[in-house]
Structure 1
Amino acid sequence: MYKKILGTLILSTLSGAMTAHAAGVTDAMIANDAKSGNDVLSYGMGTEGQRYSALTQINTKTVSKLVPAWSFSFGGEKQRGQESQPLIHNGKMFVTGSYSRIFALDMKTGAKLWKYEHRLPEGIMPCCDVVNRGAALYDNLVIFSTLDAQLIALDQDTGNVVWKEKVDDYAAGYSNTAAPLIAKGLLLTGVSGGEFGVVGRVEARDPRTGQLVWVRPTVEGHMGYKFDKDGKKTEIGISGTTNKTWPGDLWKTGGAATWLGGTFDAKTGLAYFGTGNPSPWNSHLRPGDNLYSSSTVAIDVATGQIKWHYQTTPHDGWDYDGVNEFVTFDMGGKRLGGKADRNGFFYVIDATTGKLENAFPFVKKITWATSIDLKTGRPNFVDANRPGDPTKGDGKTGSTVFAVPSFLGGKNQMPMAYSPKTNLFYVPANEWGMEIHNEPVTYKKGGAYLGAGFTIKTLHDDYIGALRAMDPKTGKIVWENKNAAPLWGGVMSTAGDLVFYGTPEGFLKALDARTGKELWKFQTGSGVVAPPITWQEGDTQYVAVVSGWGGAVPLWGGDVASKVNYLEQGGSVWVFKLASK
């Protein structure tokens, strides 16, 4: 499926291209990213991940005049899923593409300044398409991860490699797809590969050199380490307690991959990383809660210690995962975090202590649990809707259940947005279920480690996706905008009372943030599975989004995949501005 990529670096020198050394991105600039409207320096449009812009030139009254400013094609045969969020700095756009590529474009014209293509080996094993979700900026570097589990830092002006570090062994199932996070001068990254029995972790590095500072595993029983300037490592304690929530030796291949990356809140000093499914999927092989899988872990950036954790799906038996972004916000005099989990529940959690404040469904149907106990924080399971134990039958296949949501989740990788102006979260939700059963499985390095079979099914004839405005205080759906195909792209809100999001049918849309009324849409030519951004240069506000259908749905989507097989792949970035008078 995945072809070998030839060439590593292609530079394009264009007349008029900037030759001056770029102004370095500082910690102060990153800390101010959410408030600054003239650039976009981090995934999430600010380390808190709110994806909110205070810009107002494009608003409910003017958005109908939005027109394309330019479009750039990623080119070649390397299409497939394009889930990247662009970054904007010093007149340049930095945008990653499928197959571990990154482009630097002239922000105003779309002219290509340089391109870097990472040389990928034949044996890469990404579970869910050859995607990349974006880069990080620091000093004069642009840093991104690759499908063969490496981190690469390039010079922003030239595209030349400044440093390159191996994260882990791709032959063991490790890969990297998330945008790195800069917090307190450190580069924070996770790992992908939960379907191959990897061990999840969060790493902190010096962004200027790539040198490790600390490593914190997210599977209970594994040791954390810190590193001195010479690379010598020192133990900083085991994550959790060995075998407390894991049986036997299964913790050694326990999953909990941190594949979506994290957020950081300067008010708490904590970085928040979601963790993926425990391995294998067959929950009957691993009694216990299986910490820290399907959880949010809050990590002290200075020390690499887990300060608190909250597990959304203890003893996960449905691949509900828990990597969904933890977005911090203020409500009722507290600093809280919102998380729309794949399991179908929205959680409001104290960002300092990890105490559950509220939990409520953001999808219309959930069968694996009836509710979340607000006192204990644990789900009230429906035991009959856990896939059956194969050893209780013929030893080959356990009883099949129909579970809702499907393992692709009430929400998956597509990031939601929060508006401090409306006090609402805007959640790209999906309504679907799955037939799922368990099977025997043993770990083999580099092999799929599931122990389950499944088929995803639709629940409604008229829609799968629905963009929903959620009130985190009441738990109510304020409005929704339904979509025939599943939503797989992210969301952005603005002070212009707008919500932008894309659809697999190819549209970038703008809705009224208070009512959900559709005010504008544009056909990009391929499905949108990426989050939009906005910024202002001089007196002009721009909106941008990457277009290119793919991701997990066409690969894993069962009956749903067959319903959307008419959608075409692509690979481009579109930029819009208001039409001139």
Structure 2
Amino acid sequence: MKSGDLFRKVLLASTISLVLGSAPLMAAVTDQDIANDATTPNDVVSYGLGLQGQRFSPLDKLNTETVKNLVPAFVLSYGDEKQRGQEAQPLVHNGKIFVTASYSRVFTVDAKTGEELWQYDHRLPDGILPCCDVVNRGGALYDNLFIFSTLDAQLVALDQDTGKVVWKEKMEDYKAGYSNTAAPIVVNGKVITGVSGGEFGIVGKVEARDAKTGKLVWMRPTVEGHMGTLDGKDNGITGETNKSWPGDLWKTGGAATWLGGTYDAETNTLFFGTGNPAPWNSHLRPGDNLYSSSVLAINPDDGKIKWHYQWTPHDGWDFDGVNEFVSFDLKQTDGKVIKAGGHADRNGFFYVLDRTNGQLISATPFVNKITWAKGIDLKTGRPEYDDANRPGAPSGADKGQSVFSAPSFLGGKNWMPMAYNPNTDL
């Protein structure tokens, strides 16, 4: 360890051998490498172990019988408790581990020894407004770049070998409440990510940039009424202005894309979840408040929305809708296979949709108690609200009356990712 480092390394010996084993040195990360990530256990080059987000590994050496044999190989610390939380998924390539940490930092270490190779500390300005901690959930590898987002709403590309900045682009103005904590993904040469800041009156969006240069290709707002762009030109308004928002509230409607997205190559579709609408108090904004608390199916070539499904219309509980949408093939009893996607929402329901058109297939409670809704109507796809358990106007006639909400705003499932096993369909 280098003298004076606050940084000590962490991984498990058996995990290192499983991932690195006899893997040869590899060249720059290509689109094909990313497409094959779920089936190539010698490295991990994308968030979610494959762009579909299934987080399934074909490795079989680590199982219920051998897991007891895991022992620490080295330990990695990102600093003391002042450095706050750690929520990142590491990436592994060319014998290196790349991992982000709190306060927009990046560490790269030798995957076998844990020796620090380089560290990048993004210079954060005063006045950043991170909503819910100063964490980062990971980066993306492409070519010889490591790309990640920062708390002052920038996207930064570093040289994998040296940690030097290759390009850096401003996504939005941090002074207006924007930040970013999500791990970007790379699809066909474009790095794609969203923004954070839904508690501060921002407008959510998804944007795609040339992964090698950082140049903006397209941008798609996630609140109706806002104009998208493609190659610097207008590319159509998202939805219809004021269709589901009163007055001017659509101008600061939230719907932040703070957890990032997934991608399905079979349908050539991005799936991005959106956060809660703003302001938080639902009595101030009657209507469905599109496209908050939803999943958006987006064409990665031009940023156009193919379809959407809203998990919690007129969200009054801060359930968001950002949890990952995982693509999988749903096998029916009659032998038919549906191209489906699964989503465990913070509102307590597990949804299965047809990922080609957004049609609801099922919505099943996965928590013991749900009070905000009596169920989901499978014909309309809409919740059957229990209005007595919606937080009301603080100045209304029911002021002082308790409202019991389950799940809580932290959700039946928070941001922590789920996984899908294609061998067992679980």
Establish whether TM, by shorter chain, passes 0.5: yes
Shift of 1:276: 0.1
State the distance in 1 between where 2:390 and 2:80 align. 45
Show the counterpart of 2:424.
Answer: 422
TM-score w.r.t. the length of structure 1 is 0.67
State the distance in 1 between where 2:320 and 2:144 align. 35
Contact 1:392 1:398 in 2 (8 A): no
State the distance in 1 between where 2:392 and 2:167 align. 49
Show the counterpart of 1:138.
Answer: 142
Show the counterpart of 1:271.
Answer: 270
1:105-504 pair list within 5 angstroms: 105-227=109-231, 233-332=232-331, 333-393=337-397, 399-424=401-426
TM-score w.r.t. the length of structure 2 is 0.91
Query: For residue 118 of structure 2, what is the amino acid of its counterpart?
Result: W
Query: For residue 403 of structure 2, what is the amino acid of its counterpart?
Result: V
Name segments (4+ residues, structure 1) moved above 4 Å. Answer: none
Identity score, percent: 70
Show the counterpart of 1:91.
Answer: 95
Residues 360, 168 of structure 1: alpha-carbon distance in 2 compared, 3 angstrom cutoff: same
State the distance in 1 between where 2:270 and 2:223 align. 17
Query: For residue 416 of structure 1, what is the amino acid of its counterpart?
Result: M
* 1:26 equivalenced with 2:30 (yes/no): yes
SS of the residue corresponding to residue 171 of structure 1 reads helix
The equivalent position to 1:41 in structure 2, one of 40, 45, 68, is 45
The equivalent position to 1:75 in structure 2, one of 65, 73, 79, is 79
Show the counterpart of 2:59.
Answer: 55
Shift of 1:95: 0.4
Deviations 1:281-313 (A, max 9, x none): 111111110000000000000110000000000
SS of the residue corresponding to residue 34 of structure 1 reads helix
- Choose between structure 1 and 2 for higher RCO, CA contacts under 8 A separated by at least 6 residues: 1
Contact 1:22 1:157 in 2 (8 A): no
SS of the residue corresponding to residue 47 of structure 2 reads coil
Contact 1:389 1:399 in 2 (8 A): no
Count of residue correspondences: 398
Contact 1:22 1:156 in 2 (8 A): no
Pick the structure with more strand per residue. 1
State the distance in 1 between where 2:356 and 2:414 align. 25
Contact 1:387 1:399 in 2 (8 A): no
SS of the residue corresponding to residue 420 of structure 2 reads strand
Contact 1:390 1:399 in 2 (8 A): no
Residues 303, 398 of structure 1: alpha-carbon distance in 2 compared, 3 angstrom cutoff: farther
Structure 2 residue runs of 5 or longer lacking an equivalent are 1-6, 8-24, 332-336
Query: For residue 248 of structure 2, what is the amino acid of its counterpart?
Result: D
Shift of 1:159: 0.4
SS of the residue corresponding to residue 392 of structure 1 reads coil
Shift of 1:61: 2.0
Contact 1:283 1:316 in 2 (8 A): yes
State the distance in 1 between where 2:364 and 2:146 align. 39
State the distance in 1 between where 2:422 and 2:104 align. 35
SS of the residue corresponding to residue 390 of structure 1 reads coil
Structure 1 residue runs of 5 or longer lacking an equivalent are 1-9, 11-20, 228-232, 425-581
State the distance in 1 between where 2:151 and 2:302 align. 28
SS of the residue corresponding to residue 61 of structure 2 reads coil
Shift of 1:71: 1.4
State the distance in 1 between where 2:80 and 2:223 align. 40
State the distance in 2 between where 1:129 and 1:61 align. 37
Structural RMSD (CA) = 1.4
Deviations 1:402-440 (A, max 9, x none): 10010011111100111112211xxxxxxxxxxxxxxxx
Residues 89, 294 of structure 1: alpha-carbon distance in 2 compared, 3 angstrom cutoff: same
SS of the residue corresponding to residue 32 of structure 2 reads helix
SS of the residue corresponding to residue 252 of structure 1 reads helix
State the distance in 1 between where 2:373 and 2:313 align. 11
SS of the residue corresponding to residue 350 of structure 2 reads strand
Deviations 1:331-368 (A, max 9, x none): 12111100000100000001111000000111110000
Shift of 1:393: 3.3
SS of the residue corresponding to residue 38 of structure 2 reads coil
SS of the residue corresponding to residue 42 of structure 1 reads coil
SS of the residue corresponding to residue 402 of structure 1 reads coil
Show the counterpart of 1:103.
Answer: 107
Deviations 1:25-63 (A, max 9, x none): 000000000111100011101100011000011122222
SS of the residue corresponding to residue 28 of structure 1 reads helix
Contact 1:388 1:400 in 2 (8 A): no
Query: For residue 421 of structure 1, what is the amino acid of its counterpart?
Result: N
Contact 1:387 1:398 in 2 (8 A): no
State the distance in 1 between where 2:115 and 2:81 align. 20
Shift of 1:389: 2.0
State the distance in 2 between where 1:187 and 1:410 align. 30
State the distance in 2 between where 1:22 and 1:146 align. 28
State the distance in 2 between where 1:78 and 1:120 align. 16
State the distance in 2 between where 1:90 and 1:146 align. 25
